[in-house]
Amino acid sequence: MPLVAGVDSSTQSTKVEIRDLDTGEVVATGAAPHPATVAPRSEQDPRSWWDALVVAMGQVGTARSDVVAVSVAGQQHGLVLLGAEGEPVAPAQLWNDTRGAANASSIVEALGAQTWVDACGSLPLASFTIAKLAWMAEHAPEVLARTAKVMLPHDYLTWRLTGEHVTDRGDASGTGWFDPRAGVYRPDLLAAAVADPDLWLTRLPKVVGHETAAGELSGPAAEALGLRSGIPVGAGTGDNMAGALGLGLQPGDVAISLGTSGTVYSVSVTATADVHGAVAGFADATGSYLPLVCTLNATRVTDTVAAWMGTDAAGLSELALAAGTGFSGELLVPYFDGERTPNRPDATGTMVGLTTSTSRELLARAAHDGVLCGLLDGLDALRDAGVAGDGTIRLIGGGSRSGAYRQRCADLLGAPIVVPSTDETVATGAAVLAARLIDGRWSNPPDWSLGHGEAVDPQSSGAEVRRVYAEVRDK
Cis peptide leading into residue 197 (ω within 30°): no
Radius of gyration for the chain, computed over Cα atoms and rounded to the nearest angstrom:
21
321 near 407, Cβ under 8 Å?
A: yes
Query: What's the whole-number average pLDDT of the chain?
Result: 95
pLDDT, tens digit, for every residue of 4-37?
999 999 999 999 999 999 999 999 999 999 999 9
pTM: 0.90
Given this model, what pLDDT does residue 83 score?
98
CB 186 within 8 A of CB 179: yes
Per-residue pLDDT 10s for the chain (475 aa) are 899 999 999 999 999 999 999 999 999 999 999 999 987 899 999 999 999 999 999 999 999 999 999 999 999 999 999 999 999 999 999 998 989 999 999 999 999 999 999 999 999 989 999 999 999 999 999 999 999 999 999 999 999 999 999 999 999 999 999 999 999 999 999 999 999 999 999 999 999 988 889 999 999 999 999 999 999 999 999 999 999 999 999 999 999 999 888 999 999 999 998 888 899 999 999 999 999 999 989 999 999 999 999 999 999 999 999 998 899 999 999 999 888 888 888 899 999 999 999 999 999 999 999 999 999 999 999 999 999 999 999 999 889 999 999 999 999 999 999 999 987 899 999 999 999 999 877 766 778 989 999 999 999 999 999 999 999 998 7
- Strand partners for 150: 81
How many Å separate Cα 158 from the centre of its chain? 18
Q: Which helix (H) or strand (E) holds 19?
A: strand 13-20
Active-site choice (155, 239, 337, 411): 239
SS3 (DSSP) at 274: coil
Task: Kindly write down the DSSP assignment for every residue of 369-419, as one continuous string.
Answer: HHHHHHHHHHHHHHHHTT----S-EEEESGGGG-HHHHHHHHHHHTS-EEE
Which CATH number applies to 3-239?
3.30.420.40
Q: What pLDDT, on the 0 to 100 scale, is given for residue 40? A: 87
Residues 6+ away with beta carbon under 8 Å from 204: 150, 167, 177, 185
CA distance 475 to 473: 6
> Is 259 strand, coil or helix?
coil
Contacts of 437 (CB under 8 A, 6+ apart): 69, 71, 213, 232, 234
Q: Give the pLDDT score at 323.
A: 96
* pLDDT, position 209: 86
Task: Report pLDDT for 243.
Answer: 92
Going from N- to C-terminal start, the domains of the chain cover: 3-239
pLDDT in tens, 263-289: 999 999 999 988 888 999 999 999 999
Q: Does the annotation count 284 as an active-site position?
A: no
Digit-coded pLDDT (tens) for 216-254: 999 999 999 999 999 999 999 999 999 999 999 999 999
Residue 259 CB partners (closer than 8 Å, separation 6+): 10, 298, 299, 397, 398, 399
Burial of residue 77 (CB within 10 Å: 0-12, 13-18, 19+) is: buried
